[in-house]
Structures are given as structure tokens and as C-alpha cells.
Amino acid sequence: MRQVYRAGETMFVDYSGLTMEITDPETGETTPAQIFVAALGASAAVFVHATDSQKQSSFILSHTLAFEYFGGVPKQIIPDNLKSGVIENSKKGLKLNESYADMARYYGCAIIPARPRKPQDKAKVEQAVQGIQRWILAKLRNRVFFSVNELNKAMSPLLEEYNNKIMKGVGKSRSELLSELDRPELLPLPAKRYVYRDYLLRTVHLDYHVEVEGSFYSVPYNYIKSKVDVWYSNTTVEIYSKGNLITVHPRLFKKGRASTLDEHMPPEHQYRKETWSPGRILNWGSSIGFNTARLMKEIMESKSHPVQGYRTCIAILNLSQKWDKKEIELSCKKACEIRAYSVKSIESILKNKFYLKKPEKNTEVLKNHYNIRGKKYYQKEESCC
């Protein structure tokens, strides 16, 4: 059936089955670069972009670059059923990847995947893939590329040449039709390009934090045990509850670190934070000894937030009222060695004087063994003149 496409309405996207090799300049190993292809319905204008993979972040980046190349956003996108974009497309319903749907909401367009195993639903991009394989990739097949950026620079002039070719039976080029038909009807581009972000559904911990890739971010304590939506990019972490933004944190990349806002703490934690601080605890520990301060630091760093280690630190330091400071210092040194961070462990080391016990070594001397040659073996004989 002949398809009729309205201007500015539809963009078809797919990956070329044919890839290009990227060579590692140090090892000489090659990896395939994935070739993303987008085509507009009315003008048949084509965009091509090489990426390291078909991962979700690369897939979405290629979309945003296509919008900028065409000069606007189509009202609907028709992709194949790639895992990067579509989780399920069946009679039961359609479920898009959260990040892909987020991108569509940002640009104000709809995503309508082609039916599984129905290439005729995206015939326009199927033709575009064949075209770029013949007119772009084939011309570059004998060249060596050391990065996808280098490959994209090489494809750019060939893409312009392809879109500027006069089409038989039409008498105009794809670029001309893009300017006349599609571009005036495309949705306007936002002021800023979409920033890729991942999605997680999280339950707020009892310490009023949520975990994102090994780091922890606070939310108001009244959300404890609630389900929240977490959107995170390379720069920020945004946390939502029932569609409402409740907090924003800068992104942390070191596992075990926590970003905690004072206003998220329950009143008793805020009071303790105002009364105590890591600096005050470390100063108290230093007054006993270096290893005591070291143990205090390790205890606080072992928690998702230093406040959660205050009680343990203070209880250990208060032992100085009952025990000699030298004994506490030696016990803290032992605790650091075995990574014992509880009050009971320190008390046990003190009571049993574990800090005095050293690992037993086998000091038995081997007197008779075929590998022991004796001192005479190494004595040099005096030579006669």
C-alpha cells in the first residue's frame, strides 16, 4: 500500500545491520561501531550517527542529534522494537523504557513502535538504511578509524552529499524537500538539549536515604518506607514522590558517600548534629591518641552519614572515664586492624587485653635438612699463588 506522510509528522529510526570497525590505536583490536539512521516521512531526509553501542544512552543521544540536524522535532517517532527503547510491544500493551519515554516527554513528541516483524511499518527508514550503506558506508569501508568521533566526521560530508542528490521522479533533493515540507511543520527545539538520565524506583531506608549506584541521598524523614521515583544524570539526582519533586542532590560517584540535607533530618538528629560534629569527635579522640582518632574516623566513614556513627564514637570515648587512656589507645589500634567498630568489641578487647596478644610465630630452628648447607658451603678456599 502506498504510504502518505504528512509534513513534520513522522520520523523513522533504526540501526543499520552493517557496522563499521573502530581500531584501538594501542592494541590494534577492532570493535564494531553501531550506525543509527533516522529518516523523515515527507521529505525522506536522512540523518546518520555512529556510536560505540546500542545502549540506551547512545540511542537517545542519536535522537537528540537527529532533531538538531533536521531543525525541529517530529510529532511522532516510529522505532523498531529495540531493547534500548521498548520493553514490551504486544497485544497486552505497550511499555517503553522509562528514559526513552522521558526524552519523548521533554521534546513533546509521541513514540509509536512498529509492529514486531512488520518491516513495512518503517519502510521509509529501511530504504534510508540501504541508501547510506551504498553511498556512505561503502565509500568508507577501506579506511581505518580510531574513534566513533573520527568516523562521524568522515560521514558528515557524505551525508550532505546524499541528502543533496536529486531524486529520480521527484526532481528535487531531500534537503530541498526538508526545507519546503518537513522543517516548517516540525515542533520547535527546546532551548537546551535533553540530558540523558536513568530511572530507579526506590524505597526510602529507615535512615531517610535512598541508594543510587552505591551512594546515598537524603529525603525528608516523613517519607521513610515510602516508594519514590529517582531520576539521575551525570550531574544531579532528582527524587519524586507521586509526581512531585521533593529534593535534588548533586551526583556522587564514590561508593559509600552520602549527601544529607539538614532539613531532611528528624528533630532529634538535627539536635545531635548541632551539638556534635565530626571535628569535635576527632579532637576528643586525638586527645587520647592517634589510633583512637583513626578509629573514630573509620566508624563515621562506615556509615551512610557521619551522624549515624556519633553514638558509637561517643560511647567508646566515654570509656576513658573507666579505663586508662593508654589501654584505650592500644585497644583502638587493635580494633582498626581487625575492623571492629562496635562498643562491645572495644570493651572485649579491653577486658581480655587482646591488644597485648601477638600472633604466634613458628620459631623452631631446622637443624637437619637437605636444603641447609651450613657455613662451610659458603666459605671460599684460599688459592695458592
**How far are the Cα atoms of 236, 312, 333, 340 from residue 319, in angstroms, in the given order?**
42, 11, 15, 16
pTM: 0.67
Ranges of H-type helices in the chain: 56-70, 98-107, 123-132, 138-140, 148-164, 174-177, 183-185, 267-275, 278-288, 290-301, 310-317, 325-338, 343-352, 375-378
pLDDT in tens, 168-210: 888 899 999 999 999 999 999 999 999 999 999 999 998 899 9
pLDDT of residue 23: 93
Domains and CATH numbers, the chain: 10-185 (3.30.420.10), 198-265 (no CATH), 276-356 (no CATH)
- Identity at 89, one-letter amino acid code: N
CB 96 within 8 A of CB 86: yes
pLDDT of residue 384: 47
pLDDT in tens, 104-116: 999 999 998 887 6
Residue closest to 354 by CA, chosen among 322, 332, 339: 332
Dist. CA 118–CA 323, nearest whole Å:
79
Dist. CA 328–CA 347, nearest whole Å:
9
Residue-wise DSSP of 181-198: IIHHHSBPPPSSPPPP-E
Q: What's the grid cell of residue 68?
A: 538538531
pLDDT of residue 64: 96
Query: What residues in the chain have per-residue pLDDT under 50?
Result: 363, 382-385
pLDDT of residue 385: 44
Q: Which residues lie closer than 8 Å to 213 by C-beta, 6 or more apart?
A: 232, 255
Dist. CA 68–CA 38, nearest whole Å:
12
**How far are the Cα atoms of 39, 103, 150, 340 from residue 195, in angstroms, in the given order?**
23, 8, 23, 43
Dist. CA 43–CA 27, nearest whole Å:
43
pLDDT of residue 265: 83
**Largest Cα–Cα distance in the chain?**
111
